[in-house]
Amino acid sequence: MTKGIEQKENILDAAFVVFGANGYHDAKMIDIAKKAGVSKGTLYLYFPSKESLYIAVNDRSFLYFIANAKRETNRCETFRQKLYSIARHHLYFFYNTRKYPDSFWQAPHQMPGMMERLHRFFDDYHSLVSDLMKEEGLEDTALHSKAFCSMLNGYRMDIVSNKNVSEKEIERYATFTVDLFLEGCY
């Protein structure tokens, strides 16, 4: 990795922490620069504005989220295992980032570029889940995908707002969601 790429990654890592902990509006570029171990001028060489940095942090997170979800599902053999993998990945993302109360899923609406990327991420995520469902021969996979992801999102507030949620409960949520999706309430 070249020094420039390493420096940019360090800035993105620092920005993830600062934006996550403080929210977009209260995050300061100088704090991000300090955390990354660079000068404020160096930070601005890579990212000309706080908005561009915020978008870059989210773009990277979105790409990692999708790539990791694909990698996990590729390790699975059955449809149930693939759905369980998606469920665990989704729920553990929020579990592992719950110390950041202003998560990146709450994009400022005054940023059209960020909103466009957020919509693209959700489209990519739903397409990933929908493609798994198509492989299984389901119909109306776009609707099924959104329903499945919405069930998972229902647990998000539990995870981020309840410090007592454990990994055992994350596993239970994932199993319950997959079972409910595949078998219904009976």
Share the mean pLDDT of the chain: 92
Tell me the pLDDT tens digit for each residue of 97-126. Answer: 887 755 555 556 678 888 899 899 999 999
CB 53 within 8 A of CB 32: yes
Tell me the pLDDT tens digit for each residue of 13-66. Answer: 999 999 988 888 889 999 999 999 999 999 999 999 999 999 999 999 999 999
Residue 51 parent element (H or E): helix 50-74
Q: For residue 102, how many other CB atoms are within 10 A of its CB? A: 15
- Domains of the chain are 1-48 (1.10.10.60), 52-183 (1.10.357.10)
| pLDDT value at 180 more than 60 | yes
CB 146 within 8 A of CB 126: yes
Q: For residue 173, how many other CB atoms are within 10 A of its CB? A: 22
User: According to the model, what pLDDT value does residue 20 have?
Assistant: 86
Q: How far apart are CA 30 and CA 40, in angstroms?
A: 6
Output the six-digit token pair for 73. Answer: 């599902």
Segment 178-186 mean pLDDT: 92
Output the six-digit token pair for 117. Answer: 């990327």
Question: Which of 159, 174, 146 is closest to 86 using CA atoms?
Answer: 174
CA distances from 105 to 114, 152, 154, 161 (A): 10, 14, 14, 15
**How would you label 16-39 residue by residue, b for 16+ Cβ within 10 Å and e otherwise?**
bbbbbebebeebebebbbebbebe
